[in-house]
Structures are given as structure tokens and as C-alpha cells.
């Protein structure tokens, strides 16, 4: 994760406090980014096979099923 978070720090517009929280395993203040972080971890640890219970908070945060499918198809 270190290389990815370095890229996030240097190339994205993600605030440093967000990547710091991700690195430390702490909650992210922005609820939408928190949902994205949690879903990304779920996709990693389930090898791209989230349950409906895993997906629901992601959708409730404002993300779409289309984004899930795009992520899933790239995962394969």
C-alpha cells in the first residue's frame, strides 16, 4: 500500500490527512471517501467478491452499481 499511497499523495487531489488515515487504519472524516476506502479493502480481501452487505454502504454513500461493475471488470 505504501507505493499506492505515495502516488495518491503526489499525483491526486486526495488530502494528506485522508491518505494518512488510510495508512494508519483510522476513520476518514469524509463519509464518501470512508465508504470508498472500506469498499476498496473489501474488494481486495474478498478477491473481488463483495457481499450485498458489503456493497450497501458504498451505494448509500452515493456511489453507483456501474462503478462497482467497472471496478469488478478491471479486477479480473
Q: What pLDDT digit, counting tens, does each position of 35-68 carry?
A: 999 999 999 899 888 999 999 999 999 999 998 8
Is the pLDDT at 75 greater than 60? The verdict is no
What mean pLDDT do residues 14-19 have? 86
- Ordered by start, the domain boundaries in the chain are 2-75
Report the C-alpha gap between 51 and 3 in whole angstroms: 28
Residue 2, pLDDT score: 64
Judged against a pLDDT cut of 80, whether residue 8 lies above it is answered with no
Instruction: Write the pLDDT tens digit of every residue in 21-35.
Output: 988 989 999 999 999
Amino acid at each position: 500500500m505504501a507505493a499506492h499511497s505515495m502516488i495518491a499523495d503526489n499525483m491526486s487531489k486526495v488530502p494528506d490527512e485522508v491518505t494518512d488515515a488510510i495508512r494508519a487504519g483510522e476513520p476518514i472524516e469524509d463519509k464518501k471517501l470512508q465508504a470508498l476506502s472500506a469498499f476498496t479493502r473489501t474488494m481486495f480481501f474478498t478477491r473481488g467478491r463483495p457481499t450485498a452487505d458489503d456493497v450497501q454502504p458504498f451505494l448509500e454513500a452515493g456511489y453507483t452499481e456501474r462503478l462497482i461493475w467497472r471496478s469488478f471488470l478491471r479486477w479480473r
